[in-house]
Amino acid sequence: MKVVMLTAIMIFALFEPSSVLLSQGRQVYGLPGMAKEQQTLFRVRLENLVNLTKEGRWNEVYELLSTRARAGRDKKQFVAEKETTGKEGYIVVSFTPTSAEHLDRSIWGSDVWIISGCGQYKKDGKLLELEAVIEAFPESNEWFFSEVMLKTQLDSAPQKCNFKAKGSRRLG
């Protein structure tokens, strides 16, 4: 997971992706130029990812992961890894998307969007709001994602969220 996050950080440093704010609250949020039915599919799948992660339903989380996020692991390996380490460290409680950045297709061989936002996490009995990201990939006319990841700089602690939007819709 750290490798994926480091890759995303390095790409941010090398390229200036287009950035857009996701609509939230009562509006359906999606990505620019996305048809309404795709917005709904995107929203539902993203909400499912966050909710299933929060509930520790790793078999179902695996089904929403992109090929890249699976990193060669089959479902059994992924679930075993999460059941071993999934209760340690930062536990996802919710995710509030704040922006989406599209990265150049030539880098990944396909479209990739970085959904940034505030993640609410439990750690050592405390509730923390920290910067988080989710990678979104369109694959086979469907949306697949990375896991909800803490957004960190190299060798740095996770950063507190400084985004407090009125009417923001928390997922999870």
In tens, the pLDDT along 47-99 reads: 999 999 999 999 999 999 999 899 999 999 999 999 887 667 888 999 998 88
- Other residues' Cβ atoms within 10 Å of the Cβ of residue 41: 16
Sequence-ordered list of residues with C-beta below 8 angstroms from that of 136, at least 6 positions apart, any chain = 31, 42, 46, 100, 112, 113, 114, 115, 143, 144, 145
pLDDT of 46 higher than 90 = yes
- Please report the pLDDT score of residue 147 as a whole number: 94
Structure-model confidence comparison of residues 140 and 50, the more confident one: 50
pLDDT-derived band of residue 18, with 50, 70 and 90 as boundaries? very low
Query: Which of 2-11, 92-101, 138-147 has the least mean pLDDT?
Result: 2-11
Closest-CA residue to 158 (of 123, 130, 119, 137): 130
Structure-model confidence comparison of residues 9 and 121, the more confident one: 121
pLDDT-derived band of residue 140, with 50, 70 and 90 as boundaries? confident
- For the residues 14-32, what does the mean pLDDT come to? 43
- Residue 109: both structure tokens together: 């061989």
pLDDT of 15 higher than 50 = no
pLDDT of 7 higher than 60 = no
Structure-model confidence comparison of residues 63 and 24, the more confident one: 63
Q: Is the Cα dihedral 106, 138, 55, 93 positive or negative?
A: positive
- Please report the pLDDT score of residue 167 as a whole number: 45
- Please report the pLDDT score of residue 158 as a whole number: 86
Q: Hey, what domains does the chain have and what are their CATH numbers?
A: 2-150 (3.10.450.100)
In tens, the pLDDT along 93-138 reads: 999 988 888 887 766 667 788 899 999 999 888 999 999 999 998 8
